[in-house]
Structure 1
Amino acid sequence: MKKINACMVMGFFLFLFGLNVNAQSSPKLEPKSIAPYPLEITYFKTTNVIFPSAIVGVDRGSKDVLAQKAKGAANILQLKAARDSFPETNLTVITADGKLNSFVINYTPKPSMLNISIKERDNKNSIFLSPELVNEAEVTTYATRALYSKYKGRKVKHRKYGIHFGLNGIFIRDNLMYLRLTITNTSNISYDIDQLRFFIRDQKKAKRTASQEIEITPVHIQNEATKIAGQSSQSLVVAVLKFTIPDKKYLAIQLFEANGGRHIELSVKNNTITKASVLPKLESNVKYSH
């Protein structure tokens, strides 16, 4: 009996030893740490952060930080303090090249830098996200193709105040839709573009019923214009995440004039959206730089 017990004890110790060896030989998963970039902002001045690609997402750790994309520049984020002497917080920015950029935000009355270029940093403050996210190089190539491609689908246009505004091409590739717009100024007064916005809206608003609308934010704008000179025309392509329109709703494309009243809106129905032309897939041997 003593011999049997001794064998059992020895076997138990060998079993524990085997578990320990297996545990040591198994690879450990080490989480990758992203070193956040220190950033100082103030209440009385605006800090501009310039990214190499368009901004597609911004998350503030606190409402004490005011953030907005610069008008006419999709890759510039403007930051300002909502109040002075707020506690330390953070900021996360996702860009169209598939990068997540991390920042630690602190308040200071006099920031040492007001204009910061992310191109000048190394990659320790950012990581590449899933390839399912937008690749800016690809988007630029597809948008350029959409700009010059033939389109046989239905076109939507509106004319007012000597301004011809039209949607003359809808294209699709993977998860992105490319809207080709043309602005023609037949007047002698230049048209300064203040805003170009996209909404999905209710066709009719019933009495005592709140109207619902969803704004669509562009991922990329190719051949973007800020001014249409008199007696001239320009086409541009706006890339957005693919969508369709529910029943009793429509896509509103709004064009606003800066310091003027020549505002124009296009109404696009779902049967126009669903007839988008497919852009040919890029060759696999094409290389992109980031």
Structure 2
Amino acid sequence: MKNTFVLLFALIANILMAQTATKEQILSELPELEITKDVNLHIISPEPIQYVDLSTQQLTGDLPTTNIARIRISDNIPADSKEKTKTPNSFSNGSTVGIITVVGQSFIAQYKAVYRNSENRNIATNIHIQPEAMQPIEFNKMTFSNLELAKFAMQIIQKKTDEKPIREQKNMKLSMQLNNVYVMSDYIFLDLTFENRTNLSYDIEDLKFSIEDKKIYKATNNQSIELTPIFRLNGQKSFRKNYRNIYVFKKFTYPNSKVMMIRLIEEQFSGRTIEMKVNYSDILKADTF
């Protein structure tokens, strides 16, 4: 019986490894990216880039934003370089300049950079990393990429909000509603709706989240701890009548003597500010999806 159990366990382990193992990349099978001198190639990632590797000093680049890697052929090769480098003018058409590796939150993508003459007008100046070029990276199961968080947030926002909200606050013909709270693994999703019952559009300066004392949260000696969402579905900065968004936080806790404060602040010197407090019991009653 013991030997049968060991064999069964080994069989299941092999099946799981076969399902989750990342296929090895072979140099000759890498997708090609065409690059030429004096032209930047922008590689656009669907999620924040964690790391970029350029295999030769003939390539250089930077990250102008979290989702874009900017690559070009280097004009300056260090004099003490041990590599057998070439200048941009000495590359032959179709020769390999180097390997570009881009690592996102949940994938790794590798490309072979191939030189093309600058006379070729069909060279792309930007490319989007396609799903077929992504190899999954096995991170901690509790960690979700921004793409996964966006997927979960879209599932929430597609739900109807006909039911009575958990919390609602009104002020100066504005209302803020906490429609629901959801939990997925170590992540907390807040589903918020804002309504503007005036004819003046509302320009958002900031939406602040903090943990503050329940009874004296406006006092000068109040201990306030700011909370920053790790992800928000929409980046909208103004709305005319209705605005709904999903805000995602890593798991947090706070005692019953404190509340979570949500403040919506308008731009400039407007007095149209609205705030709402959320008890910890509201968080503990969070739904799953």
TM-score by length of 1: 0.51
> Which of 186, 189, 204 is equivalent to 2:200?
189
Give the superposed CA RMSD: 4.2
Residue 159 (1) aligns with residue 170 (2): yes
Aligned partners of 1:147, 1:205: CA distance in 2, in Å? 34
Equivalent residue, structure 2, for 1:255: 264
Superposed CA deviations along residues 68-115 of structure 1, whole A, max 9, x for unmatched, are xx9xxx969xxxxxxxxxxxxxxxxx98x258xxxxxxxxxxxxxxxx
Look at both structures and tell me which one has the larger radius of gyration over its CA atoms: 1
Residue 135 (1) aligns with residue 129 (2): no
1:205 to 1:161, Cα distance in 2 relative to 1, 3 A:
closer
1:98 to 1:264, Cα distance in 2 relative to 1, 3 A:
farther
Residue 265 (1) aligns with residue 259 (2): no
Kindly state the Cα deviation for residue 210 of structure 1 after the two structures are TM-superposed.
Answer: 4.0
> Which of 242, 263, 286 is equivalent to 1:233?
242
1:267 to 1:51, Cα distance in 2 relative to 1, 3 A:
farther
Equivalent residue, structure 1, for 2:47: 53
Kindly state the Cα deviation for residue 202 of structure 1 after the two structures are TM-superposed.
Answer: 1.2
Kindly state the Cα deviation for residue 215 of structure 1 after the two structures are TM-superposed.
Answer: 1.4
Kept in 1, the 8 Å contact 2:142–2:185? The answer is no
Counterparts of residues 170-209 of structure 1 (less than 5 Å): 170-205=181-216
Equivalent residue, structure 2, for 1:62: none
Percent identity of equivalent pairs: 28
Kept in 2, the 8 Å contact 1:223–1:236? The answer is yes
Kindly state the Cα deviation for residue 146 of structure 1 after the two structures are TM-superposed.
Answer: 1.5
Equivalent residue, structure 1, for 2:286: 276
Kindly state the Cα deviation for residue 148 of structure 1 after the two structures are TM-superposed.
Answer: 2.5
TM-score by length of 2: 0.51
Equivalent residue, structure 2, for 1:91: none
Kindly state the Cα deviation for residue 132 of structure 1 after the two structures are TM-superposed.
Answer: 3.5
1:133 to 1:203, Cα distance in 2 relative to 1, 3 A:
same
Q: Which runs of 5+ in 1 are unaligned?
A: 1-49, 57-69, 77-93, 100-116, 121-126, 280-290
Equivalent residue, structure 1, for 2:254: 245
Q: Which runs of 5+ in 2 are unaligned?
A: 1-43, 51-64, 69-102, 108-125, 130-136
Kept in 2, the 8 Å contact 1:153–1:276? The answer is no
Equivalent residue, structure 1, for 2:227: 216
Kindly state the Cα deviation for residue 272 of structure 1 after the two structures are TM-superposed.
Answer: 1.0
